[in-house]
Homo-oligomer: A and B are copies of this chain.
Amino acid sequence: MVKDYKKSIFEQFARTGKAFSNAHRIELLEILAQGERTVEQLSLTAGLTVANTSQHLQLLRNAGLVTARKVGQYVHYNLSDDLVIDLLVALRKLSERHLAEVERLVNTYLTVKDDLEPMQVKELLDLAEEGVVTVLDVRPEAEYQAGHIEGALSIPMEQLEERIDELKPGQEVVAYCRGPYCMLAFDAVAKLREKGFTAHRLDEGFPEWRKAGMPVEMKDE
């Protein structure tokens, strides 16, 4: 009796854990941490076929990690709970510390890492308040629409070069994107500095920001 109970309990936990045992599923969850998405959007962003995406989503749904609501012919998926973000963050932290490989990859890609000091949230808030800095959201337009840091300016990374004159030359810029492993903000900072701006990268992405209860502007849902 107790034995059975014990067995079942751990199996339930494993069911949740299983959701995080596949790279594609983790990526889907990370994307959903940005905000609501349809199946097609998810499949495009993650680079999976629609059917495959749908199947992973079913699994995540069965594990209770995401919710789905149908609007017309579209099914909008979302994280069911902020606890999912907690788990993603815990997973990241643990992986960072233990998998030397992760560290290596981060350092390999980000050769300029030391130059791009991430800004602290408090610092940023103060400076933005005073108008000293511009907070720049370099994610795709759609993601900005779905939700962004309060007062942030949206210039998707691909358009940064052509729209760079929207930024005042003397202005200090803080770029952010999806999270610590999102490359967009790194690329943006590199580009901005190349163009003579003082630019920093925000260590956190939008999900962490929202999770921390910081001011955001969200699309009505």
Contact = CB atoms under 8 A, between A and B. Distances in A.
A159 interface: no
A115 to B, nearest CB: 18
B98 A16 contact: yes
Contacts of A12: 95, 99, 101-102, 105
B21 A17 contact: yes
A92 to B, nearest CB: 7
A187 to B, nearest CB: 8
Chain A interface mostly helix, strand, loop or mixed? Answer: helix
Interface residues of A, number: 54
Contact of A9 (B2, B8, B19, B105): B105
Interface in A1-27: 1-3, 5-27
B95 A81 contact: no
Contacts of A11: 23
A18 B16 contact: no
B64 A5 contact: no
Contact of A86 (B6, B18, B90, B183): B90
B26 A14 contact: yes
A88 to B, nearest CB: 8
A97 interface: yes
A151 B14 CA distance: 35
Contacts of A106: 9
A82 to B, nearest CB: 10
Contacts of A181: 6, 9
A65 interface: yes
A87 interface: yes
Contact of A91 (B3, B17, B102, B183): B17
Interface of A: 1-3, 5-27, 30, 47, 63-65, 80-81, 83-84, 86-87, 90-95, 97-99, 101-102, 105-106, 108-109, 181, 183
What are the 7 A-B residue pairs with the smallest beta carbon separation, nearest first?
A64-B98, A17-B20, A21-B21, A10-B23, A14-B23, A18-B21, A11-B23
